[in-house]
Structure 1
Amino acid sequence: MPSKRKGKSSGPSLRFANIFRIVKKVLAYFFAVTILWVIVYRFIDPPVTWLMLQRGFERKAAGKTWKLDKKWRDFDELSNNLKCAAISGEDAGFMNHWGFDANAIQKAYLKNKAGKPMRGGSTISQQTAKNVFLWPGRSWIRKGFEAYFTILIEIFWSKQRILEVYLNVIEMGDGIYGAEAATLHYYNKPAEKLTKRQAALLIAVLPNPRRWQPSNPTKYINYKAALIRRNMRIIGKKLSFE
């Protein structure tokens, strides 16, 4: 009799042990693959992103031709004006934080809670993690993965690498990705030749680059670009891209 009771009680325990073993193995594979993925992209440029593919299929569904215009440029080949504009307009504390801006997150939360227009508190690091490793959309699960990949790129990449990848993969128009393709399209010049105003306009349209165009700015975009240029004068003195 005692042996039978022991057998019955060991059944659930054995199943739990098996489940726990499987979960541990899955987590080990997940961490191994994602960390390796991030390390590989420290040295190899991401060839494509989820957003690029999604936009391409959206164009096909709308009866348009497939369009994926991108031209990778290394960090030193990008205009310092553009680097300064991106930091000034998107993430003023980029060079000092570890991937997250607590003040920006708090302001975004309070503004959204008050019912004002939705505003994100994402840093350049978070946007890079989202664009390179994740799918488009809004959910707490995706936000959790975004935070995880943000931590990884802050650990394994340099700030220069994060900014380089960001400026090469970000959506800058309908089927246009990255600074080089954008500046060739809008200004007919390479990204290393951008003036301060052109760089500020390019960053000013980023919330919705398929709605606004830096080559034909609205009054609102001109206003935003002016604010970015003002921040560039302040922040630019502290930045070094050597």
Structure 2
Amino acid sequence: MREDDIEADGPPDEAKRPRPSARPRRAAPLRRAVGLALLLPAIIVVLMLTLALVYSSVTPPSTLMLGRWLTFQPVDRQALPLSQMAPALPLAVLTSEDQRFCLDHGVDFGALRDVVEDEDSPSRGASTIAMQTVKNVFLWPGRSYIRKAIEIPLALALDSLWGKRRMMEIYLNVAEWGDGIYGAQAASRRWFRKDASDLTRSEAALLAAVLPNPILRSAGHPSAGVRRRAARIQGMMGRTEGLAGCLKR
């Protein structure tokens, strides 16, 4: 047999071997993207819990405050310990916002169930002070099932981690009481020209009365409706004082 015939024939099966598919190389970035998408929620949870540990001793900003800072809008907030606030203020807020604050574990599941079952009033809220604090510090405003799904487990976890006094303290330091006015101290000085430690029961009730909508309602220039609401809150404070035991030292 001639040498050129052997070279022409070559290895017998080489021409028949299939070329390696390019699919595994194309699938690798997709697998990495899917893995990252699955890892991202875990990273967010770890970040939130890390911040929660920091916020056990450091007063946090709210997401609304961060938004104003990022857009170069003024923010008026002076952090103040709960022990330096007039006792009437947390009592008024508890009376107005969440009378089961000391009894629940961050979430009032009975109220949530009532909202789900009440088809005639789907917009009625069931947010506890813990849930509102979580929303103010970690999440975004507005109604969303996604936000609520994050808000509920975080409220349960932080109610246990922070305790009731710290939860109320953070809430009263991040609550909005006017355009760019955050926290009880800034609100007291702006609307009543005094420190939050010197608030009277009627002034505390006015601050609690505007919390549902602090932009359209004013504690310093209350409408007749705000005054009526504040009077109802102040009238109830004597009866709800027994429900505020978790706020006492």
TM-score normalised by the chain length of structure 2: 0.79
Mapping 1:139-218, distance limit 5 Å:
139-218=144-223
CA RMSD in angstroms, aligned pairs only: 2.7
Amino acid at match of 1:162: M
Compared with structure 1, are the counterparts of its residues 218 and 203 closer, same or farther at alpha carbon in structure 2 (3 Å cutoff)?
same
1:120 aligns with 2:134: no
Farther-moved stretch of structure 1 (230-239 vs 81-90): 230-239
Compared with structure 1, are the counterparts of its residues 201 and 108 closer, same or farther at alpha carbon in structure 2 (3 Å cutoff)?
farther
Decide which of 73, 77, 87 is 1:70's aligned counterpart.
Answer: 77
Compared with structure 1, are the counterparts of its residues 28 and 82 closer, same or farther at alpha carbon in structure 2 (3 Å cutoff)?
same
Residue 5 of structure 1 corresponds to none
Decide whether the 8 Å contact of 2:189 with 2:196 is kept in 1: yes
Decide which of 45, 59, 68 is 1:45's aligned counterpart.
Answer: 59
Please give the secondary structure, in 2, of the residue aligned with 1:172.
coil
Farther-moved stretch of structure 1 (35-44 vs 77-86): 35-44
Farther-moved stretch of structure 1 (217-226 vs 17-26): 17-26
Decide which of 67, 70, 74 is 1:54's aligned counterpart.
Answer: 67
Mapping 1:80-95, distance limit 5 Å:
80-95=87-102
Farther-moved stretch of structure 1 (48-57 vs 96-105): 48-57
Amino acid at match of 1:97: D
Amino acid at match of 2:67: Q
Amino acid at match of 2:62: T
In the TM superposition, residue 52 of structure 1 has moved relative to its aligned partner by: 1.9
Compared with structure 1, are the counterparts of its residues 21 and 45 closer, same or farther at alpha carbon in structure 2 (3 Å cutoff)?
same
Compared with structure 1, are the counterparts of its residues 37 and 186 closer, same or farther at alpha carbon in structure 2 (3 Å cutoff)?
same
Residue 134 of structure 2 corresponds to 129
Unaligned stretches of 5+ in structure 1?
A: 1-7, 61-65
In the TM superposition, residue 115 of structure 1 has moved relative to its aligned partner by: 5.2
Unaligned stretches of 5+ in structure 2?
A: 1-20
Task: Give, in whole Å, the separation in 1 of the partners of 2:220 and 2:45.
Answer: 43
In the TM superposition, residue 238 of structure 1 has moved relative to its aligned partner by: 4.1
Compared with structure 1, are the counterparts of its residues 228 and 107 closer, same or farther at alpha carbon in structure 2 (3 Å cutoff)?
farther
In the TM superposition, residue 221 of structure 1 has moved relative to its aligned partner by: 1.1
Percent identity for Structure 1 against Structure 2: 34
